[in-house]
Chains A and B, each alone.
Chain A
Amino acid sequence: MSDSLDLLTRVADEDRKSVEYRLHTLVLEIGGRVHARLAQLHINQAELARRMQVSRPMVTKLLTGESNFQLRTLLRLADALDMELTVDLAPEGFRLPRFYVSRIADSLESYGSGTTLGQGSAQSVLVSHKAEIVSASGTRNAAEYSIPYSAEVA
């Protein structure tokens, strides 16, 4: 017997393509990073407003998840939190893994998953990725990309 939950589950993949869904997913992801960083740096909203040179209500709005995050605001936010803003456009179905060098941990980690790829004080690291391109029809074509990363470790 089919019920509401079955019906919703069947159409969920289509719903996940909507602009509203993807926009809010981005807002949640950014919010997660911002809140974690605020906690890490022990920064309150007043201090964030001071660093961003914006009003306190503006910061409050940013931290409620109701903001669309203009690029200008995101840049100010990144600067205030000593973070880098990365914005990219990639072909549909293609996601390039991102890596960053954590100066605090002195290690190279995959961004997001937290998987440590290397430790130590190497001046540069060459990382080779296998990436997959998924066409609109769902066909997967494996392609290899060699991407040099200069990892300056302080």
Chain B
Amino acid sequence: MSEGSRLRARRGFGHTRIWWLFNDNGNCQPASVFAALRERNKATFDKMLAILDYTERAGPPPYPNQYKPLGAGLFEFKVSKPAMLRLYAEATKSGWLIVYAGTSKKGQSHDIEEARKRQREARERGCDFE
């Protein structure tokens, strides 16, 4: 697929309003990170799954340390214990579009920068919600 063509987003986990962004190679970085975390730290994985299910059902989590608007339409969903996982999502008309995931405790600013890059790319190239 050539650069400049539209990107792809797919749903998972039985959700209807949460989408995952794929790159040109058919990889989904946030889903890959989430899958790796499932092997490494199941408790953190389960907490984030609960947050995603709650968000699908009732909207963003009520706890400020688990959900934070970052400006310009980007939002952070976070679990910090027992391990760190941050999912970055853009609020779109079709629902939440998860664009990036990070697991480093110290790499928050780098993760936000990466998330903004992917958010920008999805906006500029357009995204097909399949």
Contacts and interface: CB of A to CB of B under 8 A. Distances in A.
A9 B66 CA distance: 22
A15 B49 contact: yes
Given A9-B14, A64-B65, A20 B51 contact: no
Interface residues of A, number: 28
Interface stretch (A27-35, A87-95, A100-108, A136-144): A27-35
Interface in B1-31: 10, 12-14, 20, 26-28, 31
Contacts, number: 82
Interface in A1-19: 1, 3-9, 12, 15-16, 18
Given A5-B31, A7-B35, A21-B49, A34 B14 contact: no
B17 to A, nearest CB: 15
B45 interface: yes
A16 B62 contact: no
A63 B38 CA distance: 26
Given A20-B47, A25-B53, A25-B54, A9 B65 contact: no
B32 A4 contact: yes
Contacts of A28: 50-51, 54, 61-63
A50 interface: no
Contact of B31 (A8, A16, A24, A63): A8
B72 interface: no
Interface residues of B, number: 31
Interface in A21-65: 21-22, 24-25, 28-29, 31-32, 34-36, 63-65
A18 B46 contact: yes
A21 B66 contact: no
B46 A32 contact: no
Contact of A6 (B12, B42, B45, B65): B12
A8 to B, nearest CB: 6
A82 interface: no
Given A4-B28, A15-B49, A31 B14 contact: no
Interface string B62-81: 11111000000000000001
Nearest to A66: B81
Nearest to B55: A28
Contacts of A65: 61-63, 65-66
Given A4-B35, A12-B13, A31 B62 contact: yes
Nearest to A11: B38
Given A5-B31, A35-B62, 6 more contacts: A1-B26, A8-B31, A24-B51, A28-B54, A65-B61, A65-B66
Interface of A: 1, 3-9, 12, 15-16, 18, 20-22, 24-25, 28-29, 31-32, 34-36, 63-66
